[in-house]
């Protein structure tokens, strides 16, 4: 799925990935190793799982360090064989609403203090390295503009139940901007929209994992609100290609780019697609619960910038991706 030019960039590169044992981080680690990079993965395993790195842990070009990135990087990167990195992907953070609401302090610290500490360390040790911050579509909050372009400043409740994540990511972006503008670091920001695929924790509370788990048990699918709210779902391997392009292409210093699939589905449509994939001969049953506070009504990325600057757009449609995820297979 990668062009030869992008693959060549990663050959023999030294790469640090925080949140390496998470859903996104582990897929990124696998792709980097496949492209020929040497990777150091860091994760405190609060939400990440070592089983996600099963393939990577067999590679002589991968090192895993269990550590919390809200601590000074020298406290854990001194354990690495070589900490002279060409790239840093900062992906450490709980990412689903139930998980980050369970651990609000860890969530806001890893996205704020963790980001600051890594950039401070990078300036002193690897000032020419590229730093890619995993931000989120949650920075747009409950958007008043649809679809959401990178120029939109968002509509976020700063004191809401989701703010430990939403506002922490916004502050993380602020920190990235300071270190790019004031200190000249090559910082790039990916705003990630809803993502799904193999290794997504079935118990993490996200809509796709919830529906798949319930459909496999042939239970009614739980819908919050009326189910008319919309989401856009990007298959994880499409997203990883976007990460690798964002990090490898020249002249993207200081850029913030949406990465997601612009296909838009209501939650009811999502339920029907997942149910019919798993139980094609059974009628869908739904169970309704109140809509959580600050839940976005519509969510869809404007990926014009990604198309223009990265030459990237998703290739895998939602129905195909659900089949792949249910089958437990990667493309």
248 in Cβ contact with 188 (< 8 Å): no
Give 139's contacts (C-beta < 8 A, 6+ positions apart).
154, 156, 166, 169, 170, 173, 191
Give 4's contacts (C-beta < 8 A, 6+ positions apart).
none
Backbone angles phi and psi of 21, in degrees to 5: -95, 5
- Residue 18: closest CA among 92, 129, 87: 92
Give 283's contacts (C-beta < 8 A, 6+ positions apart).
none
- Residue 265: closest CA among 276, 257, 273: 273
DSSP state of 291: P
303 in Cβ contact with 260 (< 8 Å): yes
Rounded Cα gap, residues 259 and 245, in angstroms = 11
Active site residues: 165
Rounded Cα gap, residues 66 and 53, in angstroms = 12
- Residue 39: closest CA among 57, 17, 18, 65: 17
């Amino acid at each position: 799925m990668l062009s030869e030019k992008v693959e060549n960039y990663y050959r023999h590169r030294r790469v640090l990935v925080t949140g390496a044992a998470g859903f996104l981080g582990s897929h990124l680690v696998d792709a980097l190793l496949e492209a020929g990079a040497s990777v150091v993965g860091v994760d405190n395993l609060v939400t990440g799982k070592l089983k996600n790195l099963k393939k990577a842990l067999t590679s002589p070009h991968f090192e895993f360090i269990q550590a919390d990135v809200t601590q000074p990087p020298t406290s854990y990167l001194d354990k690495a064989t070589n900490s002279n990195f060409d790239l840093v992907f900062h992906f450490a953070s709980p990412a689903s609403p139930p998980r980050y609401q369970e651990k609000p302090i860890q969530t806001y610290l890893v996205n704020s203090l963790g980001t600051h500490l890594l950039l401070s360390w990078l300036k002193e040790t690897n000032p020419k390295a590229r730093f890619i911050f995993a931000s989120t579509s949650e920075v747009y909050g409950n958007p008043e503009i649809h679809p959401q372009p990178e120029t939109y400043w968002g509509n976020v409740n700063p004191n809401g139940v989701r703010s430990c994540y939403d506002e922490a990511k916004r502050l993380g972006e602020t920190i990235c901007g300071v270190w790019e503008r004031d200190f000249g670091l090559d910082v790039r920001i990916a705003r990630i929209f809803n993502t799904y695929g193999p290794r997504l924790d079935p118990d993490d509370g996200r809509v796709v994992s919830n529906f798949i788990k319930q459909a496999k048990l042939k239970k009614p699918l739980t819908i919050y609100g009326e189910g008319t709210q919309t989401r856009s779902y990007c298959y994880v391997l499409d997203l990883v290609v976007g990460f690798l392009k964002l990090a490898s292409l020249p002249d993207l210093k200081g850029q913030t780019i949406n990465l997601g699939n612009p296909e838009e589905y209501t939650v009811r449509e999502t339920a029907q697609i997942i149910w019919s994939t798993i139980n094609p001969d059974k009628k869908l049953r739904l169970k309704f619960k109140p809509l959580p506070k600050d839940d976005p009504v519509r969510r869809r990325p404007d990926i014009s910038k990604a198309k223009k600057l990265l030459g990237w757009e998703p290739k895998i449609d939602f129905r195909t991706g659900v089949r792949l995820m249910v089958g437990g297979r990667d493309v």
